[in-house]
Structure 1
Amino acid sequence: MTALLIPFPTQVLVFTAMPRCTGHYWPCCAGWVGPTVVLCIYGFCSMMRPVEPFMTEFLTGSYKNFTTEQVTRRVYPVWTYSNLVLIIPVFLVTDFLRYKPVIVLQGLCNVGAFLLVLVGSGVCSAQWAFFIYSLGTAADVGYFAYIYSVVQPSYYQRVTSYARGAILLGYAASALLGQLLVSLGGVSLYCLTVVTLIALCMALFTSIFLPMPKTSLFLRETYYARQGSSGEDTQSGSESRDSFIWLRRSRTAAKYAGRMLRKLILDCKDCYSSMAVLFFCIWSATGRCGFYQVSSYVQVLWVYKQPQHNFTAYNGGVDSVATLSGAAASIAVGHVSLEWCVWGELILGGFTLLIAGAVFLMALTNNIWLSYTCYMLFKTLYMQLITICTFQIARKLTRERYALVFGVNSFMGTVLQSVLTAVVINTKSLNPHLSHQFFVYASYFAAIGLLFTVRGVYTALHRNQPSPGNQAERATHLPQGSRL
């Protein structure tokens, strides 16, 4: 199973509006502390997967005896395609089920997927495992949206940082633990999978103790819309005994859903009509696609370049260091004082070209240590650039539109990833020379970097002579979300 860390909100599909009523917050003795602590424990344990950096070696080794071509063409692509199909349906039911059931579902899927990897045999079993895993990945929306339904808005920033920090810390700790157990403890990959399964069971057990939000945001809004309908307010008593009450409510919910859909479409049109937002959104979606492609298949590349069944591999240590350095770079860029509306696109373009160079060198070199170094540079730069995109887009948007735009960006990135996967996997000339696949990824990043470099140079050259249109665009504050 590939490293599917979700380090930034651009990878989270969250369209739900934030709760406004304090009457629905969970009444715990510590206010926001109780639900946040439980959620962070769940997030940390759910990312404790020490076998994940060695998953390709586990599948191609003596335990499963898959070939590299089977893993590349028939197993790993299942996650990409399944995630594309499942991400929208999971989003649609998340708010309806009030978040907690979706988090529990994610825990069940993670346990089921790794259990199937552990005890299953054959390619078909591995494909089912990755399909179940993709359902758990799609359910990430529940993890990030849940906390907003049980705490007051004044704590949103704090609890969001804690929730994301728990995931980053859990992933880095699990990768380091896996490396230490394999290199120093001589633990087999089979036992490492058992340790992963135990940690995921702990996460599942923790999710049961999450407090249940009092009501769904969608149902509450639907209720208000129904209350505003003519005649229904006075007939509620008699309708409660009507055997067809569910039909009336379904019609009301359908009308509200239609109005919400029209609102989302209008908001998308307004948001993406601003060039100040559009180009950062383009990088957010395209960068996400390239990041997941490289991180999904980099283990296959390392198995291809290093001796088979070499248990001195340092995949876990590399993943741990790359995650921590990426997190540090993300924090550092948040304190950089720069006129981002002028230089932001040029910085994106220049550093994307560096990413392309790192991926190209990964494909070109036969030195595993140089490949490790390039991957750490790749991941660090990506997490830094995606942070720039995050706060630049967020500056232009209201909180409601922030969720919408980043959700759309995530979905478009998944679509691009599916297309790129289909092109690469179905091109037979890329195998058995696996390095050619990374040449494609390097070219992909080079094209993105060239586009943003040209755009950035154009923007920088015109910074002293802004036309009225450009000046208005840079000062644009997008209108508030359309009314229902």
Structure 2
Amino acid sequence: MAWWYSAVLLCAFGVLKEFRLTEPYFYNYQHDDLHLSDSVLNDEVYPIWTYGYLIALVPALLLSDVLLYKPVILLGATAYVSVWVTLIFGKDKLSQQLGQAIYSIATASEVAYFAYIYVKVDRSKYSRVTAWTRAALLAGKCTSYVLAEVLILTKAASYQTLNYITISALGLAFTLALFLPQVSWKAVVTRNIEGQVTIRNATPLSPNQVPENYWGFCKDTMLSLKENLVIHYSNKSILKWSLWWAMATCGELQVGNYAQTLWGQLQDSDGDNNLNGFIEASCPFIAMIAILAVERSPINWSHWGEIGLVIAALIDGALLIIMSQAQQLWLMYVVYVCFRVFYQIMITIAQANIVTEIASHAYGFVFGINTLVALLLQSLLTAIAVQWIKLDIRPQFVTYGLYHVAISIIFASVAVKRLVIPKLVKLWRSS
């Protein structure tokens, strides 16, 4: 089967999966329609997703490669539909907490979505399909958020109507996922052998080392988890990009989780200046264009990677501090868009650089480990800033800004060590 068929089908699934019109209005719907207070939402509802995501990710990263991705993708599609069932029919705090718990399962399954395509295409196409699948998610978000904003501003639909449209799109996404081609364990074994020779210049496995059936493949995959951890994270390139992935994703998830609460401080009670849908739509639209452009750029990221990461993290830190102090809603919106676009560009670059270094089919495992570290950091950040110190929403965003400044300092240190110190030593020796 042609590789592009799987890529197009996965991208179409990604568009429908992200066609969630209610997302820019979670806070408004739960606060205004369900009458849940700020304190209940921020302290008792939204943290459920953070901790649940962390817990759900462990089996997701362990089983994605073993189950060959498609079953985990289907589980995620089912979970998304279930989340909107709780939004439509649930009216109290408990139902919204249940929805957040199920939402964590849905988001944890995304490691399978991102890993699936790499066992279907040649390594030469990794950069292309990485950009395609990322752009598909962003296209789905952009389209749905624009439609949502138009419907809300024209008062053609209520928040509940957005829920009905969303659950219909998610039902179609589940149906489409059923038609994704199965991944053959034999093809995965073949890809592993090719990867070992290409990347590690290793001797191919002998016939008696190749599993005889699927259960042998599962056993070998589970037994190789420790080996994969050592092999992949001893690779300095994978470690560098993975560290940024984890730290930046922690900040991005936290900002996304609480941005609507911050905007709510300046929004009118009648919702006339609520442009959340347009703003959330502009993020993926701009990022989609930028990602496709960067994919074509000739930049050598293995050489300039640290510099790019330092600049991106420093800009993100400054943006969040500005956002925390802004007294105009439009300024908050502009800063938020810039922050999300920078993240999407750099995470796509990080993913593309990581997969070219992975020698086996353990894409889901590596992506899962990176996201797991991100969630550990986010859980710690949530526990300290939100639930222990109980910072108000504006001081929270100051904290998130300083966190990104710390990321830039870490990668600046790495860049100095790799690029500057060797040149100084060489200059000193030659003098």
TM-score by length of 1: 0.75
Q: What is the DSSP-based 3-state SS (H/G/I as helix, E as strand, rest coil) of the residue aligned with 2:265?
A: helix
Aligned length in residues: 415
2:26 to 55, 73, 94: 55
Shift of 1:88: 1.9
Query: How many angstroms apart in 2 are the aligned matches of 1:449 and 1:283?
Result: 10
Which structure's CA Rg is the greater one? Answer: 1
1:400 matches 2:357? no
Separation in 2, partners of 1:366, 1:191 = 32
**Pairwise CA distance, 1:457:** 4.7
CA, structure 1 residues 353+99, in 2 after alignment: closer, same or farther (shift >3 Å)?
closer
Whether 2:405 is the aligned partner of 1:446: answer: yes
Kept in 2, the 8 Å contact 1:356–1:442? The answer is yes
Structure 2 counterparts to residues 36-47 of structure 1, below 5 A: 36-47=7-18
What pairs with 1:279-298 in structure 2 (closer than 5 Å)? 279-298=240-259
Matching residue within 260, 282, 297 for 2:224:
260
Which letter does structure 1 place at the counterpart of 2:250? C
Shift of 1:334: 4.4
CA distance in 1, matches of 2:84, 2:244: 33
Structure 2 residue ranges without an equivalent (≥5):
192-204
Matching residue within 406, 417, 425 for 2:386: 425
1:435 corresponds to:
394
Q: In structure 2, the residue corresponding to 1:187 is in which secondary structure? A: coil
Identity of aligned residues (%): 29
Gaps of 5+ in 1: 1-26, 237-248, 469-484
Give the root-mean-square deviation of aligned CA atoms.
3.5
Within 2, Cα distance between the matches of 1:152 and 1:345? 27
8 Å CA contact 1:96, 1:218 repeated in 2: no
Paired position in structure 2 for 1:144 = 114
SS at match of 1:426: helix
- Residues 99-138 of structure 1: CA deviation (Å, up to 9, x unaligned): 3332222221111111111110211110111111111111
Partner of 1:373: 334
Cα separation, partners in 2 of 1:150 and 1:286, compared to 1, 3 Å: closer
For 2:55 and 2:312, the matched residues in 1 are separated by: 32
TM score, norm. by length of structure 2: 0.84
Give the Cα–Cα distance (whole angstroms) in 1 for the partners of residues 414 and 207 of structure 2.
51
Change (3 A) 1:450 1:159: closer
Quote the residue 1:198 is aligned against: 168
Give, in angstroms, the shift of residue 269 of structure 1: 5.0
- Residue 170 of structure 1 corresponds to 140
Counterpart in 2 of 1:21? none
Deviation at 1:216, TM superposition (A): 7.3
Q: How far apart, CA to CA, are the structure 1 residues paired with 2:9 and 2:233?
A: 38
Distance 1:152 1:279, change over 3 A: closer
Kindly provide the amino acid, as one letter, of the partner of residue 66 in structure 1: L
Contact 1:363 1:439 in 2 (8 A): yes
Contact residue 126 and residue 352 of structure 2 kept, 8 A:
no
Contact 1:96 1:216 in 2 (8 A): no
Structure number with the higher helix fraction is 2
Distance 1:423 1:216, change over 3 A: farther
- SS of 1:400's equivalent in the other structure is coil
Find 1:76's aligned residue among 13, 22, 46. Answer: 46
Residue by residue over 1:205-236, the C-alpha shift from the partner in whole angstroms, topping out at 9 and shown as x without a partner, is 22223333455778999xxx99838xx99xx9
Q: Which amino acid aligns with 1:228?
A: N
Q: What is the distance in 2 between the residues matched to 1:265 and 1:434?
A: 38
